[in-house]
Amino acid sequence: MMKQILLLFNCLLVFLLCSCVDTEKNKKFMQIKTSYNGEPFVYIIPNENPLSCFYLEKEKNGMYALYIGHMSIKYLQRVCIRKEYYKVEKLRADEKVHYPTYKAILERLNSYLYFMSDKIELDSLTQINIRTGDLAELAIDFSYNWEKNNDILKDRTDFDQFSIAINQTSLNKDINSILEKYSLRVDTITSGIEPKALGIPLEEFAKSRGIKKMNQNMPKIITDAPIRVTCKSVRM
């Protein structure tokens, strides 16, 4: 009888622990439908503005493309559908803009993939799309590489120049360190299909991203360009 009671107690304890983990896993995220396209967006809820936004798009072949960006709470209030507005009201609206650090973005990507791991087959994720302007400190390395390569690659297309510059950063290694937990790895990293870039003054960029360490080698203008990471499954 005592053995049965102990077994029942252990089962109950495991259940409670799993429930706590699952609650912890889900409380960082919320799904909000917008009037923009009716599709759900998944947001990490940080104490920062703008929010990190993860949008998963199912392609015609059944595979998924992930888009990562940042959206202000005020913008979210404008585009969410009316019945979902109560969710947005819970978010802390901060007038100041504080973008997450590069390290925080990687941590959020890892948390998001963990969050989605029991909702879709992650080996159906074939690409991750993000702009360098949303990669904080890494954007400085990218911009430095792009400027450094200008003379050598001046006759190449923007697509080629951006693709080469991003592959001279640590992005491949950093993304791989996350993907390998989910039996995925980076296949290629290139510029986005339409490599339209924006220029952001270094001081403005550094201030909004909380970058305090500045030096003379940093580019005066930060290049904000679209980047596409293609992924492949490594499951046998």
User: Which range is least confidently modeled, 4-18, 95-109, 140-154, 185-199?
Assistant: 4-18
User: Which range is least confidently modeled, 8-22, 47-61, 218-232?
Assistant: 8-22
For residue 95, the model assigns a pLDDT of 65
State what percent of residues in the chain have pLDDT above 70.
82
* Residue 138 buriedness (CB in 10 A; 0-12 / 13-18 / 19+): buried
For residue 15, the model assigns a pLDDT of 40
Considering only residues 107 and 7, tell me which one the structure prediction assigns the higher pLDDT: 107
Strands, sheet with 64-71, edge to edge from the N-terminal-most edge strand: 29-33, 40-44, 51-58, 64-71, 125-131, 226-233, 184-191
pLDDT in tens, 66-119: 999 888 888 888 888 888 888 877 776 666 667 888 999 999 999 999 989 988
- CA proximity to 226, closest of 128, 157, 148, 140: 128
For residue 195, the model assigns a pLDDT of 74
**Residue pair 29/112 in contact by the 8 Å Cβ criterion:** yes
pTM score: 0.82
